[in-house]
Structure formats: structure tokens, C-alpha cells
A = this chain, B = another copy of it.
Amino acid sequence: MNIAILFGGSSFEHEISIVSAITMKKVLKKSTLTYIFVSANREFYLIDTDKINSKLFSSGEYKTRKKLTLKNGGFFIDGMFGSKDVDFDVALNLIHGRDGEDGKIASMMEFFNIPFISPRMEASALSYNKLYTKFLADSLGVKTVEYEYLSKNDERKITMPYPVIIKPVRLGSSIGVSIVKNEGEFDYALDVAFEFDTDVIIEPFIEGVKEFNQAGAYTNDWELSIVEEPQKEEFLDFEKKYMDFSRDSQVLEADISKELKDKIQDSFKKIYNPLFKGSIMRCDFFVVDDEVLLNEINPIPGSMANYLFPDFEGMINRLFKNLPNEQNIIVNYDYIHSIQSAKGKV
């Protein structure tokens, strides 16, 4: 199979997308990979798979590569004698943050009729925004951590006790996130968060909370990853999370009861099906007093959470064969004719 890896994007997570993308070479060994880079100013470039490395991007050398145009059916190389399409079977959306997770790439792939692995538009819009994730979970009967919500111009006042954690609603990878231990630190933490986003959610910071990650996809059946208990310090800073995106070796399954595992997997399935069909995504859960709470949805997890799956490459293949289809709409212009005759009568 030939998989086009879409990576980069106009995103605070542009660079970690590059790390994720390069990691795919180590985990998709039986496939042909076609790398399509989305530059920070949103031009498309075809990158040679053999020669891909992070310096190619940080040095600006990528600008010497072939530029691509997105059209109906695929990406095209323009030349003297018409344009030629770039050959691949499916596009794998590996753009973290804006462009990739907010629904832009999904919109464009769907509009231009390109098979793609990624959350679709609605799933993206609801999971990219942490406030909307709360609405979604609530409607599906999945519990989340309690929260308050503030917009940039709102009065800076909360009712929950400290410590709290402040998160910009639209970012991942801990960007703009602060733990606030007392009122004195609140204002500065909000300033930091509002540099990245116009809205924040505020949650209680639960010292030493148990955290578990569950990734998965629905292919021709459920393919759920092992449950991971991520290593953590107070919380991962950006650079540590960043290193995390280059992971490619299997991790150990969390040592938890069957009952807890079932609860986590049930919650994952409720969130995933049917909204996230076509994607491999990860849900991060907290466990508080034996109750499973959804903390975050990672619609495009770092290096696709490959290290949590026993057969990641096989799963990509099966997912490709079971992508959701857009509904076929036939336009036959019946109504234009009927209106024209109706107008004639008036």
C-alpha cells in the first residue's frame, strides 16, 4: 500500500508533526510512504522519503522540492505539459493542532475526494475544542472532570477552589497550560493561556490522579490498543511531550483490574462510534474514586500512538479498506425547471 503522510501545517505543533511523520518510517515498513509537507504558510511540497530528516525543514531546504496543487482527486505536480498527479492509495493526516485537528485537512480531503485516515470534520470540530468535547461526552453519557469556562473578555473570576489547571480550549501538547496553586498566580496563568487562544477551560488540579490512555480504531471490527498508564511528572512540559512524539517501541500494559479496563474501553467506544470512524484516535482518562472520567480526546495522537498497538501497520491497512463514505448526492436540476415554469405563471 502507498500511504501519503500529510504533516506540518500552520500550527503551534508544526514541529512535532514533523517528528511524528518521520517516526512513521520506522513503523510502516511494509508500505510505500509518500511524504507531503504542508509548510507553515500552507504550501504543499513533495518530500523524498529516502532523504527526509528534520533539518530539511528547519533549514528551509524543503522550498527547493516540488510544489503541489490540491485538486479534485489528489495532489498534482504542475509542469510544462499539464499536470501529473502524485500516486498514493490513502492520505494519513498527521498534522497535530490547527489545520490537522480542527477539521481543515478533513474538509479538504472530503471536498477533493481523496481517501483519508483522520477524524472527519464534525469529529474534529468537537474534539479540537475542549469545551465542545465536554458537550459531546455529556451527551454520550461519558463523565468528564468538572470545569469552568472563561473567554478573553470575561471577568477573571472562578468559583472552584485552588489548585486548578488552566487550558486553552483549542490546543494540545500542553501548550499554554498552567497549574495554578493560588489566586496570586491566576492572572499570570490566564495571560499565558490567552496568548494562544481566546477561550480557556479551568478544571480542578487533582494531585497524583491516576491517568490511563486508550487508543483505537474501528476497522472491520474494534481494534483497541493496550491501556497505557503514562509516566508523568507534575505534568509533561512541551519539550518532554515533544520527545514523546518520536516513540516507536511497544510499552507495557497498565496493571489494572479487568473491571477498570472494561470501563475505560466502554467509554472509549462511546466516544469513538460512530463520530470518529475513519480515524485512529486516543482518549486520555482520569480515574477518581473508581470512576472513569474523560480528560481529553487526542484526535491525532503523537506518532499515531503506534507503540500501543500490536499490529499498527496491519490496522492502517484494514482501516483503509473500511473508511466511511461520504453520501452520494445527485443533482438533476429538476427544481430549476419547475421554478422556471412556476415563475412563468405568476
Contacts and interface: CB of A to CB of B under 8 A. Distances in A.
Contact of A103 (B121, B139, B336): B121
A299 to B, nearest CB: 13
A277 to B, nearest CB: 11
Contacts of A19: 336, 339
A131 B139 CA distance: 10
B331 A14 contact: yes
Contacts of A144: none
* Best-buried of A106, A329, A342 by chain B (most CB within 10 Å): A329
A110 interface: yes
Contact of A337 (B58, B69, B136, B342): B58
Contacts of A40: 329-331
Nearest to A54: B336
A322 B99 CA distance: 23
Report whether over half of chain A's contact residues are helix, strand or loop; otherwise say mixed: helix
A42 B242 contact: no
Contacts of A98: 329
A338 B239 contact: yes
Given A42-B72, A108-B111, A242-B339, 20 more contacts: A14-B331, A15-B335, A16-B335, A40-B329, A42-B111, A42-B113, A54-B339, A57-B333, A58-B336, A70-B70, A107-B107, A107-B121, A122-B132, A124-B125, A126-B132, A131-B139, A135-B135, A135-B138, A238-B335, A239-B338
30 contacts: A10-B329, A15-B331, A15-B333, A15-B336, A19-B336, A40-B329, A41-B72, A43-B72, A55-B340, A69-B71, A78-B78, A98-B329, A102-B121, A104-B107, A104-B108, A107-B108, A107-B121, A108-B111, A121-B125, A122-B125, A122-B132, A124-B125, A125-B126, A131-B139, A135-B135, A135-B136, A135-B139, A198-B274, A242-B339, A246-B339
4 interchain residue pairs of minimum CB distance: A125-B125, A107-B107, A58-B333, A40-B331
